[in-house]
Amino acid sequence: MVLNSKGGSGKSTVATNIASYYASQGNRVMLVDCDPQASSLEWLAARPSGRSTIVGVDASEGKFRVPRSIDYVVYDTPAAIHGKQLNAYLRRAQSIIVPVLPSPIDMRAATPFIKKVLENGRISRKECRIAIIANRCRENTNVYHQLDTFLRRLRKVPFISVLRETQNYNRAAERGLGIFELAPYLVRRDIDQWDPIIRWLNSKRSQPVA
């Protein structure tokens, strides 16, 4: 599940890239769009028929079943999730990625959001695991260094990767693809930046502690 109450932090971008990564690896993937804006479902509608299939679900239409054949369920969530609604989302998740942007407003908003998430019993019992990534970063900027310092200081939440600001995400998104599906020479740096995210997702660190 990709979650951050702040709008525009990259939830749909990260969710669609996770979905397309696992699908392109031969897994059966369900992409659940919980946002009435339906960015993930629109992305899926643009996906060429020849590409690995991803099953889209519009969660705003009510309850849905996950068929046994599905290997991965990826949730894209809306902005402005607080209180009881946040806890309802946390009940459904197993592994959560929180993308945060290098901007003073986003960093300020991240502090109470992460605090609320950490107060949730499933998170404190490690039944649901959480990690943070920095998104849309330009390395030689002051604000990126501020974000880096801020995220490193969050001792209870692993800060697993930094994604750069690049048009590659837009290039991929407009065609219903993930960056893993673009020409390798274009996205080498981005794939390197995704490597720790995929490793986290594939490791015990993202799985519930039994």
List the one residue from 5, 9, 12, 161 that touches Mg ion (CB under 5 A): 12
- Cβ-based nearer residue to Mg ion, 15 or 122: 15
- Residue number with CB closer to ligand ATP (9 or 95): 9
Residues in 37-56 that interact with Mg ion by CB under 5 A: 39
Bridge partners, 75 (sequence order): 32
Contact by Cβ (8 Å): 136, 109: no
- Residue 91 neighbours by CB distance under 10 Å: 12
Q: Considering the complex, state which of residue 122 and residue 132 has its C-beta at the smaller distance from Mg ion.
A: 132
CB of 209 to ligand ATP, least distance (A): 28
Distance CA 53, CA 155 (A): 38
All residues at 6 or more sequence positions from 43 whose CB lies less than 8 Å from its CB, including other chains: 12, 16, 173, 176
Distance CA 208, CA 186 (A): 35
Q: Kindly state the smallest distance separating residue 173's Cβ from ligand ATP, in Å.
A: 6
Nearest approach, Cβ of 203 to Mg ion (angstroms)? 26
Q: How far is the CB of 165 from Mg ion (least distance, A)?
A: 17
Q: What is the distance of C-alpha 144 from the center of its chain? A: 19
The entry of Mg ion, ligand ATP, none near residue 58 (CB within 5 to 8 angstroms by kind) is none
Find which of Mg ion, ligand ATP, none residue 170 binds, CB within 5 to 8 Å per kind.
ligand ATP
Q: Is 136 in the site for Mg ion (CB under 5 A)?
A: no
What whole-number distance in Å separates Cα of residue 56 and Cα of residue 59?
Answer: 9
7 or 121: CB nearest ligand ATP:
7
What's the burial of 186, exposed, middle or buried (CB within 10 Å: 0-12/13-18/19+)?
middle
Distance CA 170, CA 151 (A): 25
- Minimum separation from the CB atom of position 180 to ligand ATP (A): 14
| Residues at the interface with ligand ATP (CB under 6 A) | 7-13, 35, 37, 39, 79, 135-136, 163, 165-166, 169-170, 173
Residues in contact with Mg ion by CB under 5 A are 11-12, 39
